[in-house]
A and B are shown apart, each in its own frame.
Chain A
Amino acid sequence: MSTSQSESVPLFGFVRISDLGNSGLIGGYLLLNLLGRPLEFHCTEPVKPNRAQQILYGTVLDAYLYGEQIAQTLVAHSRLQPALIFADQPAVLSLRSHCDVPVLMVDTNAGRPDDDAVELALGAHKLWISPVDAEQEVSIRESLSLLSAGWNLHEPFQRIEDAVAELQKAA
């Protein structure tokens, strides 16, 4: 994130990692304004852990690949800084250790990502933040309040999926 975004125009980031099976993982990062319009999109080339990584990271391999290797790289390439970053995959939450922006988990079938996670809400969505961000809960709620309760927080992830699929087709 080379430049910061004006405080008066908050932006929101969405990270989604697509698992292409044998082809590896592709990460997509979409930055939206309050109207849901895209301002930036970044995606990685396929990432495939080798055998050594699998042994070394064991049960935390996903957190390493999703959060540190892929999501961190994507966010670092972004020109604008978001107020919040949303993810719908628990493994992406480890991104929080590598960037300055609160990362929120959007409700999925997986449920609460961590026993210590703090629960918030936006419209019909349940959201969780890492205990690390508990002290920032007020400012996070303020940023969330800028979003309409009608925002469908799952929808931008679909856009990322579609874009990644298009890129795969082109490749």
Chain B
Amino acid sequence: MFQFPEHAASVFSTTAKAEPSQPPVTGVNTDSAPPTGSTRIAPPSDVIKLDDRLYYLLQPPLETLLHGETLRMPFCPFPYQLSGISFLYPRHAAILADEMGLGKTMQAITTIRLLLHSGNVREVLLICPKPLVTNWQREFKQWAPEIPVCIIEGDQRRRRWQWELTDMPVKISNYETILRDRAEVGDGRRAFDLVVLDEAQRIKNASSTSHEVVCSIARTRSWALTGTPVENTPDDLVGIFRFLVAGYLSTGMTPRKLREATRDYIIRRTKDQVLTEMPPKLYRDALLPLTPEQQYAYHLAEKEGVVNLQGLGESITIQHVFELVLRLKQICNFDPNTGRSAKYDRLEADLEEVAASGKKAIVFSQWVNTLDELKQRLARFGVVEYHGRIPSRKRDGIIEKLRNDPDTHVILMSYGAGSVGLNLQFCEYVFLYDRWWNPAIEDQAINRAHRIGAAGPVTVTRFVMANTIEERIDQILTQKRELFETILADSHMPSSGGLSQADIFGLFDLHVPGGKLKIPDAA
């Protein structure tokens, strides 16, 4: 008689922890290309329960998750971005410390999106510097369009109402507002499934009020995004970790011990490491809202300008329109009365990271006056200038100073002086503070840094003020650039391609007696 092994009937079982609340099972898009990669989500080392570890191991690869029709992505993420997402997804405490320009925002948003869809989180709070709020809002719209996002803003009553909203899975606030709303969110008054800190180096000082308030927010998961988790001393990291895992690190730990202790919590990639097979030029369009002061000045100037133009009737020339465009563009740079500038706020925030990471940046403007203003305001980053007012004999020395002086991080350039004939391959960041009329000139300017022998891929940030003349110019430039790329894919950019009269006139809805203004044909 044979004895059959009884243990074959002994079965370990586990079932799905949380039924996906959304999306409903609607099938996958059979027309789209199949996922090719296989980026698996590995359980972090601090997940100890077997059930929890199996939960992560049994999840499909990210490519499969993102292939679903309801999670369409605007662009195919780079492999390193998928790795970043799979790193963040299972973690309750994590630092995404990628170098600036590698898409920390996109990786965080996509992971939040996946966690929301899988029902793993339901309430997310994202805290970022004030100038970056609109950027986050826009990125959410692009990368997670179906996720409702609430910006915490306005007066106290409005903010209180916004904090109470239960149908907004993602709330975005800035560090200053969080301090003011301490009574609403601090000390465990409100609980979140996930709190994400952008530019988390803001809380590195454990004795600061920001640190104290942020750490007092009740939460299940804590993530920090920063390109420079260690700015000055190893204790910077300890400060951030007090938010992530309170008590895990202590001040005075040696760098080696810190590295060992934090290995499973931090992911950091540099452009050198991951951009070997990617386009070496990364564009980041910063579409920003005018400050209230700029808004007021802008609308006043636009209203008056258009009235004046219409008053000119048939005697109007392109010069008249051009003057108005220039005036409006200048207001987009700085409010003429108060000096307030949303662009400047954003530039300053970005340069903080550039300088902290020891990198160099070029800031382009078409006006020397704007460069002068920036020179004063950005002095702490170590600034040199290079434009038409700088004598030729001094120019080489300026470039050498930027190249060799570790405390000089920024060169301010005019398009005219800095667009050709310069080799600035050691600059990894280019900021177009205002836009030139011609995409080819912009490209030449950008290519000062993006050249053979470049220190690394170049991140280009193009500032555009929303709902202004700049946005309209940007649209036209984009169309022209796309046209060039379509037609002249294998050719050099032609030197023409600026705005024509029709383009410039078309920027305004100009009406003259008898109907809409007819645009002259000839330049």
A7 on the B face (CB < 8 A): no
Of the stretches A35-43, A96-104, A130-138, the one at the interface is A35-43
Q: Judge if B245 is at the interface, Cβ distance under 8 Å.
A: no
Q: Complex formed: what's the CA distance from A160 to B335 in Å?
A: 62
* Interface residue A22 (Cβ < 8 Å from any Cβ of B): no
- Jot down 23 A-B pairs with beta carbons below 8 A, ordered by A: A35-B68, A37-B20, A39-B16, A40-B14, A40-B15, A40-B16, A42-B13, A44-B12, A45-B8, A45-B10, A48-B5, A50-B2, A50-B5, A77-B13, A149-B30, A150-B33, A151-B28, A152-B34, A156-B60, A159-B58, A163-B57, A166-B54, A167-B54
The interface size bin for chain A is: 35 or more
Residue of B nearest to A154 (CB): B38
Q: Does B356 contact A (CB under 8 A)?
A: no
Q: Is the interface of A mostly helix, strand, loop or mixed?
A: mixed
A 157-171 to B, binary, CB cutoff 8 A, 1 in contact else 0: 001001100110010
A105 sits at the interface (CB 8 A): no
> B16, A148: Cβ atoms under 8 Å?
no
Q: Which residues of B contact A152 (CB under 8 A)?
A: 34-35, 38, 64
A49 located at the interface, meaning its Cβ lies under 8 Å from any Cβ of chain B in the complex: yes
Contacts of A47 in B (CB 8 A): 5, 7-8
Chain B nearest CB from A95 CB (Å) reads 13
Contacts A37-B60, A167-B50 given: A123-B5 contact, CB under 8 Å? no
B30 with A56: CB separation less than 8 A = no
Q: Judge if B27 is at the interface, Cβ distance under 8 Å.
A: yes
- Residues of A with Cβ closer than 8 Å to B? 9, 30, 32-50, 52-53, 56, 69-70, 73-74, 77, 79, 123, 146-152, 155-156, 159, 162-163, 166-167, 170
A-binding residues in B (CB < 8 A) = 2-5, 7-16, 20, 25, 27-30, 32-35, 38, 40, 50, 53-54, 57-61, 64-65, 67-68, 118
**A9 and B54 alpha carbons, distance in the complex (Å):** 24
Q: Which residues of B contact A166 (CB under 8 A)?
A: 50, 53-54, 57
Do A77 and B11 contact each other (CB < 8 Å), given the known contacts A37-B60, A163-B54?
Answer: yes
- Measured CA separation A33–B60 after assembly (Å): 11
Which residues of the partner chain A approach B61 to less than 8 Å between Cβ atoms?
A: 155
Do the beta carbons of B25 and A159 come within 8 Å of each other? no
Q: What residues on A are CB-neighbors of B29 within 8 Å? A: 148
Q: Tell which of B3, B12, B35 has the most Cβ of chain A within 10 Å.
A: B12
Expressed in whole angstroms, the Cα–Cα distance for A102 and B264 within the complex equals: 43
B34 with A148: CB separation less than 8 A: yes
Does B60 lie within 8 Å of A35, measured CB to CB? yes
Let me know if A46 and B7 touch, CB within 8 A: yes
